[in-house]
Structure 1
């Protein structure tokens, strides 16, 4: 059996975060959760096993999801990044290289398939 893919979900809306975390856990992923960029950075500094970060763009705190994505790409280049937003369209040119964008509401099954796919590239 292959090791579980470890995903960090960064989402300030607790119900959205919990819903996606529950779905991905049922799909066999290992899931960590953060409510904002500061929590995400602390988790990333403490956990070496994170392979994918799934982040919302609009979040309170020291940085939004786009700035967080750029910081993660700079400090942890191997981590794959998926960005989502329900409030704005994000151009791929605004994202770190090799990142994906999904508009909300997104299809949970499509997210799970994308997470598996980006790690098999």
Structure 2
């Protein structure tokens, strides 16, 4: 007669294949994930990437919280993604009136590079639909909503856009946008606490 065996819950160090820890697999997936966003990645993979990034950043998050308590927190960032240099400069100048630091990009690829380096500091992503480069603003918006859900997402365009095309979290502002509308979204991004990662 066989004895009943109770199995312990799996931890991140358990392996799928001998010698390869799950957390290592997750980190590898995370490193390739950003390149796959434009092709459409299943939500379960996106959830795994968020879990891995969350566990990797849990210790730095505690350090950041301690720094915030002493008043030495990192500055929060507004990311302006617009391929028209004049409109980008106008948005940057406008957002410099807020407490956010401003970084301008002309393409989604450049914006993703900034997000990879400073994603935890980005409070606002203000992006046009039409951009220089291979990715458009909708693809960028989906990537931001999936990988950096703490950033407030504002999408703009001179063309009407059906709501189902935008991520649920995104706010749409039609061009020509009013400076007050942009400032209101920036103030919300700066003032509201970041939502928790689910």
TM-score, normalised via structure 1 length? 0.88
2:176 to 75, 98, 105: 105
User: Are the structure 2 counterparts of residues 83 and 68 from structure 1 closer, same or farther at C-alpha, using a change threshold of 3 Å?
Assistant: same
Q: Given that residues 65 and 83 in structure 1 are in contact (C-alpha distance below 8 angstroms), is that contact kept between their aligned partners in structure 2? A: yes
Counterpart of 2:140 in structure 1 is: 68
Moved over 6 A (4+): none
Tell me the CA shift for residue 4 of structure 1: 5.7
The gaps in structure 1 that reach 5 residues or longer are none
Q: Give the distance between the partners of 1:38 and 1:76, measured in 2 at CA.
A: 15
For these two proteins, the number of residue pairs brought into alignment is: 120
Q: Give the distance between the partners of 1:5 and 1:105, measured in 2 at CA.
A: 26
Q: Give the distance between the partners of 2:177 and 2:76, measured in 1 at CA.
A: 20
Q: Give the distance between the partners of 1:75 and 1:89, measured in 2 at CA.
A: 26
Q: Give the distance between the partners of 1:90 and 1:52, measured in 2 at CA.
A: 20
Alignment of 1:87-102 (within 5 A): 88-102=159-173
Tell me the CA shift for residue 78 of structure 1: 1.5
Q: Given that residues 98 and 187 in structure 2 are in contact (C-alpha distance below 8 angstroms), is that contact kept between their aligned partners in structure 1? A: no
Q: Does 1:53 align with 2:125?
A: yes
Tell me the CA shift for residue 59 of structure 1: 1.3
Q: Given that residues 11 and 17 in structure 1 are in contact (C-alpha distance below 8 angstroms), is that contact kept between their aligned partners in structure 2? A: yes
Q: Give the distance between the partners of 1:112 and 1:91, measured in 2 at CA.
A: 24
Q: Does 1:31 align with 2:65?
A: no
- Structure holding more strand per residue: 1
User: Are the structure 2 counterparts of residues 79 and 14 from structure 1 closer, same or farther at C-alpha, using a change threshold of 3 Å?
Assistant: same
Q: Give the distance between the partners of 2:161 and 2:110, measured in 1 at CA.
A: 23
Q: Give the distance between the partners of 1:109 and 1:57, measured in 2 at CA.
A: 20
* Higher-Rg member (1/2): 2
- Structure holding more helix per residue: 2
Q: Give the distance between the partners of 2:139 and 2:181, measured in 1 at CA.
A: 25
